[in-house]
Amino acid sequence: MGRRSKSGTGAGPDTGSDAGPEAVTTGPIRTITDLARLAGVTAGTVSRALSNNALVQADTRERIPALARAPGFRLNEMASRLRRQKTNVIGVAIPLGHDQRQHISDTFFMTLLGHLADELTERGYDIMLRRVIPDRDPDWLDRLIGSGTIDGLIVIGQSDQFERIEDAAEGYRPMVVWGNRQEGQRHCVVGTDNRLGGKLAAERLIAAGATDLAFLGDTTPMEFGARFAGAREVAERLGVPIRALPTHLAQDGMAREIAGHLDRILPGCNGIFAATDTIAVACLHELRRRAVAVPGAVRIVGFDDLPIARETVPGLTSIRQDIAAGARAMVDLLLRRMAGDETESLVMPPRLVARETA
Protein backbone atom coordinates (compact mmCIF):
# COMPACT_ATOMS: atom_id res chain seq x y z
CA MET A 1 0.00 0.00 0.00
CA GLY A 2 1.51 3.28 -1.06
CA ARG A 3 1.81 6.03 1.52
CA ARG A 4 -0.23 9.14 0.93
CA SER A 5 0.68 12.78 1.07
CA LYS A 6 1.47 14.04 4.55
CA SER A 7 -0.62 17.18 4.28
CA GLY A 8 -1.75 18.51 7.64
CA THR A 9 1.21 16.99 9.52
CA GLY A 10 4.29 18.19 11.26
CA ALA A 11 6.08 18.08 7.92
CA GLY A 12 4.67 21.50 7.03
CA PRO A 13 1.47 23.49 6.64
CA ASP A 14 -1.55 21.90 5.08
CA THR A 15 -2.03 23.59 1.73
CA GLY A 16 -5.41 21.98 1.20
CA SER A 17 -4.37 21.14 -2.35
CA ASP A 18 -4.35 17.36 -2.04
CA ALA A 19 -7.42 16.93 -4.25
CA GLY A 20 -7.74 18.43 -7.71
CA PRO A 21 -10.47 20.57 -9.29
CA GLU A 22 -11.98 17.48 -10.86
CA ALA A 23 -13.23 16.55 -7.36
CA VAL A 24 -15.52 19.60 -7.18
CA THR A 25 -19.23 18.86 -7.02
CA THR A 26 -22.29 21.07 -7.15
CA GLY A 27 -24.56 18.59 -5.35
CA PRO A 28 -26.08 19.09 -1.89
CA ILE A 29 -23.64 19.37 1.02
CA ARG A 30 -24.60 16.85 3.69
CA THR A 31 -21.25 15.64 5.02
CA ILE A 32 -17.67 16.71 5.53
CA THR A 33 -16.80 14.56 2.51
CA ASP A 34 -19.19 16.58 0.32
CA LEU A 35 -17.62 19.82 1.51
CA ALA A 36 -14.14 18.38 0.87
CA ARG A 37 -15.08 17.61 -2.74
CA LEU A 38 -16.43 21.12 -3.22
CA ALA A 39 -13.29 22.70 -1.73
CA GLY A 40 -10.95 20.37 -3.60
CA VAL A 41 -9.29 19.04 -0.44
CA THR A 42 -9.44 15.93 1.75
CA ALA A 43 -11.94 15.33 4.54
CA GLY A 44 -9.07 15.51 7.01
CA THR A 45 -8.14 19.00 5.76
CA VAL A 46 -11.78 20.12 6.17
CA SER A 47 -11.83 18.75 9.73
CA ARG A 48 -8.64 20.58 10.62
CA ALA A 49 -9.77 23.80 8.94
CA LEU A 50 -13.10 23.83 10.78
CA SER A 51 -11.17 23.25 14.01
CA ASN A 52 -8.96 26.25 13.16
CA ASN A 53 -5.86 24.03 13.14
CA ALA A 54 -2.76 26.13 12.51
CA LEU A 55 -1.31 23.38 10.33
CA VAL A 56 -3.81 24.38 7.63
CA GLN A 57 -2.85 27.41 5.54
CA ALA A 58 -4.68 30.59 6.51
CA ASP A 59 -6.56 31.02 3.22
CA THR A 60 -7.88 27.46 3.44
CA ARG A 61 -8.91 27.98 7.07
CA GLU A 62 -10.95 31.00 5.96
CA ARG A 63 -12.38 29.50 2.78
CA ILE A 64 -13.76 26.22 4.18
CA PRO A 65 -15.77 27.69 7.11
CA ALA A 66 -17.19 30.24 4.68
CA LEU A 67 -18.40 27.44 2.44
CA ALA A 68 -19.90 25.65 5.42
CA ARG A 69 -21.86 28.79 6.43
CA ALA A 70 -23.31 29.46 2.98
CA PRO A 71 -27.15 29.53 2.74
CA GLY A 72 -28.73 26.19 2.00
CA PHE A 73 -25.81 24.11 3.13
CA ARG A 74 -26.79 21.35 5.54
CA LEU A 75 -23.39 21.22 7.19
CA ASN A 76 -23.80 24.15 9.56
CA GLU A 77 -24.55 22.11 12.70
CA MET A 78 -21.71 19.73 11.97
CA ALA A 79 -19.28 22.57 11.34
CA SER A 80 -20.39 24.24 14.56
CA ARG A 81 -19.69 21.05 16.46
CA LEU A 82 -16.22 20.87 14.99
CA ARG A 83 -15.50 24.45 15.96
CA ARG A 84 -16.70 23.70 19.49
CA GLN A 85 -14.83 20.38 19.31
CA LYS A 86 -17.48 18.71 21.45
CA THR A 87 -20.12 16.15 20.42
CA ASN A 88 -20.00 13.76 23.41
CA VAL A 89 -19.72 10.89 20.91
CA ILE A 90 -16.75 8.53 20.57
CA GLY A 91 -16.35 6.57 17.36
CA VAL A 92 -15.42 2.90 17.56
CA ALA A 93 -14.28 1.38 14.27
CA ILE A 94 -13.48 -2.27 13.54
CA PRO A 95 -11.56 -2.55 10.23
CA LEU A 96 -11.77 -5.99 8.62
CA GLY A 97 -9.39 -5.78 5.71
CA HIS A 98 -7.91 -9.22 6.39
CA ASP A 99 -11.10 -11.19 7.13
CA GLN A 100 -14.07 -9.52 5.48
CA ARG A 101 -16.62 -12.18 6.51
CA GLN A 102 -15.95 -11.71 10.21
CA HIS A 103 -18.68 -10.04 12.24
CA ILE A 104 -18.90 -7.82 15.30
CA SER A 105 -20.70 -10.71 17.03
CA ASP A 106 -17.27 -12.39 17.37
CA THR A 107 -16.76 -13.19 21.06
CA PHE A 108 -13.60 -11.13 21.38
CA PHE A 109 -15.17 -8.03 19.83
CA MET A 110 -18.25 -8.32 22.03
CA THR A 111 -16.13 -8.69 25.17
CA LEU A 112 -13.97 -5.67 24.40
CA LEU A 113 -16.93 -3.58 23.21
CA GLY A 114 -18.80 -4.31 26.43
CA HIS A 115 -15.92 -3.02 28.56
CA LEU A 116 -15.46 0.03 26.30
CA ALA A 117 -19.18 0.86 26.48
CA ASP A 118 -19.12 0.64 30.27
CA GLU A 119 -16.12 2.96 30.52
CA LEU A 120 -17.34 5.52 27.99
CA THR A 121 -20.90 5.77 29.28
CA GLU A 122 -19.59 6.17 32.84
CA ARG A 123 -17.72 9.22 31.57
CA GLY A 124 -20.71 10.71 29.77
CA TYR A 125 -20.01 9.66 26.18
CA ASP A 126 -22.13 7.89 23.59
CA ILE A 127 -20.67 5.42 21.08
CA MET A 128 -20.88 5.40 17.30
CA LEU A 129 -19.91 1.88 16.17
CA ARG A 130 -18.77 1.09 12.65
CA ARG A 131 -17.70 -2.19 11.04
CA VAL A 132 -15.41 -1.30 8.14
CA ILE A 133 -14.55 -3.28 5.00
CA PRO A 134 -11.65 -1.18 3.60
CA ASP A 135 -11.86 -2.68 0.10
CA ARG A 136 -15.37 -1.25 -0.22
CA ASP A 137 -14.58 2.02 1.57
CA PRO A 138 -10.88 2.89 1.11
CA ASP A 139 -11.34 6.38 2.61
CA TRP A 140 -13.10 5.04 5.71
CA LEU A 141 -10.70 6.63 8.19
CA ASP A 142 -10.58 10.09 6.59
CA ARG A 143 -14.36 10.14 6.31
CA LEU A 144 -14.83 9.06 9.90
CA ILE A 145 -12.45 11.52 11.51
CA GLY A 146 -13.66 14.29 9.24
CA SER A 147 -17.36 13.66 9.76
CA GLY A 148 -17.75 16.16 12.59
CA THR A 149 -19.84 13.64 14.52
CA ILE A 150 -17.22 12.35 16.97
CA ASP A 151 -14.86 13.82 19.56
CA GLY A 152 -12.39 10.98 19.32
CA LEU A 153 -11.87 7.57 17.78
CA ILE A 154 -11.05 4.08 19.04
CA VAL A 155 -9.94 1.58 16.40
CA ILE A 156 -10.17 -2.09 17.34
CA GLY A 157 -7.44 -3.97 15.50
CA GLN A 158 -4.93 -2.79 12.91
CA SER A 159 -5.94 -5.53 10.45
CA ASP A 160 -4.07 -4.72 7.21
CA GLN A 161 -4.62 -0.98 7.74
CA PHE A 162 -1.41 -0.11 9.62
CA GLU A 163 -0.13 2.42 7.06
CA ARG A 164 -3.51 4.14 6.76
CA ILE A 165 -3.76 4.46 10.54
CA GLU A 166 -0.20 5.79 10.67
CA ASP A 167 -1.01 8.48 8.09
CA ALA A 168 -4.13 9.57 9.94
CA ALA A 169 -2.28 9.73 13.28
CA GLU A 170 -0.01 12.49 11.98
CA GLY A 171 -2.87 14.94 11.63
CA TYR A 172 -5.50 13.55 14.00
CA ARG A 173 -4.48 13.24 17.65
CA PRO A 174 -7.61 11.97 19.47
CA MET A 175 -7.26 8.36 18.29
CA VAL A 176 -6.25 5.22 20.20
CA VAL A 177 -5.90 1.78 18.61
CA TRP A 178 -6.19 -1.71 20.08
CA GLY A 179 -3.41 -3.72 18.49
CA ASN A 180 0.25 -4.59 18.35
CA ARG A 181 2.94 -1.99 19.01
CA GLN A 182 5.72 -1.75 16.46
CA GLU A 183 8.94 0.12 17.17
CA GLY A 184 8.79 3.70 15.87
CA GLN A 185 5.08 3.77 15.07
CA ARG A 186 3.22 7.08 15.46
CA HIS A 187 -0.28 6.00 16.45
CA CYS A 188 -1.07 5.37 20.11
CA VAL A 189 -1.81 1.71 20.75
CA VAL A 190 -3.02 -0.39 23.65
CA GLY A 191 -2.52 -4.12 23.51
CA THR A 192 -0.76 -7.19 24.77
CA ASP A 193 2.83 -8.24 24.11
CA ASN A 194 1.70 -10.72 21.47
CA ARG A 195 5.16 -12.04 20.68
CA LEU A 196 5.76 -12.88 24.34
CA GLY A 197 2.33 -14.50 24.45
CA GLY A 198 3.32 -16.72 21.53
CA LYS A 199 6.48 -17.73 23.35
CA LEU A 200 4.51 -18.68 26.46
CA ALA A 201 2.12 -20.79 24.36
CA ALA A 202 4.89 -22.73 22.61
CA GLU A 203 6.80 -23.26 25.84
CA ARG A 204 3.69 -24.66 27.50
CA LEU A 205 2.90 -27.03 24.64
CA ILE A 206 6.44 -28.36 24.49
CA ALA A 207 6.67 -28.72 28.27
CA ALA A 208 3.42 -30.72 28.11
CA GLY A 209 5.06 -33.19 25.71
CA ALA A 210 4.24 -31.79 22.25
CA THR A 211 6.89 -32.60 19.63
CA ASP A 212 5.21 -31.27 16.47
CA LEU A 213 3.37 -27.93 16.56
CA ALA A 214 0.81 -26.14 14.40
CA PHE A 215 -0.36 -22.53 14.63
CA LEU A 216 -3.96 -22.06 13.55
CA GLY A 217 -4.64 -18.46 12.53
CA ASP A 218 -4.26 -15.86 9.82
CA THR A 219 -0.82 -14.28 10.23
CA THR A 220 -1.76 -11.20 8.15
CA PRO A 221 -2.99 -9.11 11.13
CA MET A 222 -0.04 -7.77 13.12
CA GLU A 223 -1.27 -9.25 16.39
CA PHE A 224 -1.58 -12.78 15.02
CA GLY A 225 1.68 -12.48 13.10
CA ALA A 226 3.48 -11.53 16.30
CA ARG A 227 1.93 -14.48 18.17
CA PHE A 228 3.17 -16.91 15.54
CA ALA A 229 6.61 -15.27 15.45
CA GLY A 230 7.00 -15.72 19.20
CA ALA A 231 5.95 -19.37 19.06
CA ARG A 232 8.24 -20.06 16.12
CA GLU A 233 11.19 -18.52 17.95
CA VAL A 234 10.74 -20.91 20.87
CA ALA A 235 10.06 -23.93 18.65
CA GLU A 236 13.17 -23.33 16.54
CA ARG A 237 15.33 -22.82 19.63
CA LEU A 238 14.13 -26.14 21.07
CA GLY A 239 14.28 -28.02 17.76
CA VAL A 240 10.53 -28.59 17.46
CA PRO A 241 8.86 -28.20 14.04
CA ILE A 242 6.03 -25.69 13.71
CA ARG A 243 3.85 -24.68 10.79
CA ALA A 244 1.28 -21.91 10.30
CA LEU A 245 -2.11 -22.94 8.93
CA PRO A 246 -4.29 -20.01 7.76
CA THR A 247 -7.52 -20.08 9.76
CA HIS A 248 -10.07 -17.29 9.59
CA LEU A 249 -12.51 -16.10 12.22
CA ALA A 250 -15.62 -15.89 10.05
CA GLN A 251 -18.06 -18.43 11.47
CA ASP A 252 -19.23 -19.61 8.05
CA GLY A 253 -15.79 -21.00 7.17
CA MET A 254 -13.80 -21.62 10.35
CA ALA A 255 -15.01 -25.16 11.09
CA ARG A 256 -14.41 -26.25 7.50
CA GLU A 257 -10.88 -24.81 7.51
CA ILE A 258 -10.05 -26.50 10.82
CA ALA A 259 -11.34 -29.86 9.57
CA GLY A 260 -9.16 -29.55 6.49
CA HIS A 261 -6.10 -28.69 8.58
CA LEU A 262 -6.64 -31.68 10.87
CA ASP A 263 -7.00 -33.97 7.85
CA ARG A 264 -3.50 -32.92 6.76
CA ILE A 265 -1.63 -32.83 10.09
CA LEU A 266 -3.11 -35.83 11.96
CA PRO A 267 -1.69 -38.11 13.04
CA GLY A 268 1.66 -36.51 13.69
CA CYS A 269 0.99 -33.06 15.04
CA ASN A 270 0.42 -33.23 18.77
CA GLY A 271 0.46 -29.56 19.80
CA ILE A 272 -1.87 -26.81 18.51
CA PHE A 273 -1.49 -23.11 19.28
CA ALA A 274 -4.68 -21.32 18.25
CA ALA A 275 -4.47 -17.61 17.48
CA THR A 276 -7.67 -17.03 19.49
CA ASP A 277 -9.82 -18.91 21.99
CA THR A 278 -12.58 -18.97 19.38
CA ILE A 279 -10.39 -20.99 17.02
CA ALA A 280 -9.18 -23.17 19.91
CA VAL A 281 -12.75 -24.04 20.95
CA ALA A 282 -13.73 -24.90 17.36
CA CYS A 283 -10.63 -27.08 17.10
CA LEU A 284 -11.49 -28.80 20.38
CA HIS A 285 -14.99 -29.58 19.08
CA GLU A 286 -13.61 -31.07 15.85
CA LEU A 287 -11.09 -33.22 17.72
CA ARG A 288 -13.87 -34.50 19.99
CA ARG A 289 -15.95 -35.35 16.92
CA ARG A 290 -13.02 -37.42 15.63
CA ALA A 291 -12.56 -39.08 19.04
CA VAL A 292 -9.03 -37.64 19.32
CA ALA A 293 -8.10 -37.35 23.00
CA VAL A 294 -7.19 -33.94 24.39
CA PRO A 295 -4.64 -33.60 25.95
CA GLY A 296 -3.70 -37.29 25.54
CA ALA A 297 -3.07 -37.19 21.79
CA VAL A 298 -3.17 -33.44 21.09
CA ARG A 299 -2.47 -30.48 23.39
CA ILE A 300 -4.15 -27.13 22.72
CA VAL A 301 -3.37 -23.57 23.85
CA GLY A 302 -5.63 -20.64 22.92
CA PHE A 303 -5.19 -16.88 23.21
CA ASP A 304 -7.32 -14.22 24.96
CA ASP A 305 -8.65 -16.21 27.95
CA LEU A 306 -12.22 -15.30 27.12
CA PRO A 307 -14.98 -16.50 29.50
CA ILE A 308 -15.62 -19.48 27.21
CA ALA A 309 -12.13 -20.84 27.99
CA ARG A 310 -13.32 -21.67 31.51
CA GLU A 311 -16.40 -23.50 30.24
CA THR A 312 -14.95 -26.01 27.78
CA VAL A 313 -14.47 -29.68 28.68
CA PRO A 314 -11.58 -30.15 29.16
CA GLY A 315 -10.81 -26.60 30.29
CA LEU A 316 -8.89 -24.58 27.72
CA THR A 317 -5.34 -23.50 28.51
CA SER A 318 -5.02 -19.95 27.19
CA ILE A 319 -2.77 -16.90 27.08
CA ARG A 320 -4.60 -14.18 28.98
CA GLN A 321 -4.70 -10.61 27.81
CA ASP A 322 -6.46 -8.33 30.28
CA ILE A 323 -9.25 -7.03 28.05
CA ALA A 324 -11.01 -5.10 30.82
CA ALA A 325 -7.83 -3.28 31.84
CA GLY A 326 -7.07 -2.62 28.19
CA ALA A 327 -10.49 -1.04 27.64
CA ARG A 328 -10.02 1.23 30.66
CA ALA A 329 -6.58 2.24 29.41
CA MET A 330 -7.87 3.01 25.91
CA VAL A 331 -10.57 5.31 27.23
CA ASP A 332 -8.17 7.02 29.63
CA LEU A 333 -5.54 7.60 26.94
CA LEU A 334 -8.16 8.81 24.45
CA LEU A 335 -9.61 11.38 26.87
CA ARG A 336 -6.10 12.61 27.67
CA ARG A 337 -5.33 12.98 23.97
CA MET A 338 -8.62 14.81 23.45
CA ALA A 339 -7.44 17.24 26.15
CA GLY A 340 -4.19 17.81 24.24
CA ASP A 341 -1.85 15.59 26.28
CA GLU A 342 1.00 13.60 24.81
CA THR A 343 0.55 9.90 25.56
CA GLU A 344 2.65 6.81 25.11
CA SER A 345 1.40 3.43 23.93
CA LEU A 346 0.64 0.78 26.53
CA VAL A 347 1.85 -2.79 26.08
CA MET A 348 0.36 -5.17 28.66
CA PRO A 349 2.08 -8.39 29.77
CA PRO A 350 0.39 -11.66 28.80
CA ARG A 351 -0.14 -14.44 31.33
CA LEU A 352 -0.41 -18.18 30.87
CA VAL A 353 -3.61 -19.60 32.38
CA ALA A 354 -3.02 -23.34 32.63
CA ARG A 355 -6.03 -25.66 32.37
CA GLU A 356 -6.52 -29.23 31.15
CA THR A 357 -5.94 -28.95 27.37
CA ALA A 358 -2.19 -28.44 27.85
Q: Are 17 and 41 in contact (CB under 8 A)?
A: yes
Instruction: Classify 211 as helix, strand or coil.
Output: coil
CATH of 21-84, one of 1.10.1060, 2.60.40, 1.10.260, 3.30.70: 1.10.260
Its pTM stands at 0.75
* Chain centre distance of CA 250: 16
Which amino acid would we find at residue 288?
A: R
| pLDDT score of 43 | 72
With 60 as the cut, is the pLDDT of residue 16 above it?
A: no
What whole-number distance in Å separates Cα of residue 63 and Cα of residue 60? Answer: 5
For residue 97, what are the CA distances in angstroms to 13, 27, 120, 156, 220? 31, 31, 26, 12, 10
For residue 146, what are the CA distances in angstroms to 158, 171, 329? 20, 11, 25
Strand partners, 216: 245, 274
Q: Which stretch of DSSP H or E encloses residue 117? A: helix 107-122
The alpha-carbon radius of gyration of the chain (Å, integer) is 23
CATH of 194-320, one of 3.40.50.2300, 3.60.15.10, 3.40.190.150, 3.30.420.40: 3.40.50.2300
How high is the mean pLDDT of the chain? 86
pLDDT digits 0-9 by tens, 330-349: 999 999 999 989 899 999 99
Q: Are 208 and 358 in contact (CB under 8 A)?
A: yes
21-84 and 89-192+323-350 in the same fold:
no
With 50 as the cut, is the pLDDT of residue 21 above it?
A: no
Mean pLDDT, rounded, for 103-108: 82
pLDDT digits 0-9 by tens, 267-295: 999 999 999 999 999 999 999 999 999 99
What whole-number distance in Å separates Cα of residue 104 and Cα of residue 112? Answer: 11
Among residues 308, 98, 343, 131, the alpha carbon closest in space to that of 221 is found at: 98
What whole-number distance in Å separates Cα of residue 294 and Cα of residue 100? Answer: 32
Domain ranges of the chain: 21-84, 89-192+323-350, 194-320
Return the minimum-mean-pLDDT range out of 49-53, 80-84, 104-108: 80-84
Band of residue 45 on the pLDDT scale cut at 50, 70, 90: confident
Domain 89-192+323-350 in CATH 3.40.50.2300: yes
Among residues 1, 78, 9, the alpha carbon closest in space to that of 42 is found at: 9
What whole-number distance in Å separates Cα of residue 358 and Cα of residue 352? Answer: 11
Q: Which stretch of DSSP H or E encloses residue 225? A: helix 222-237
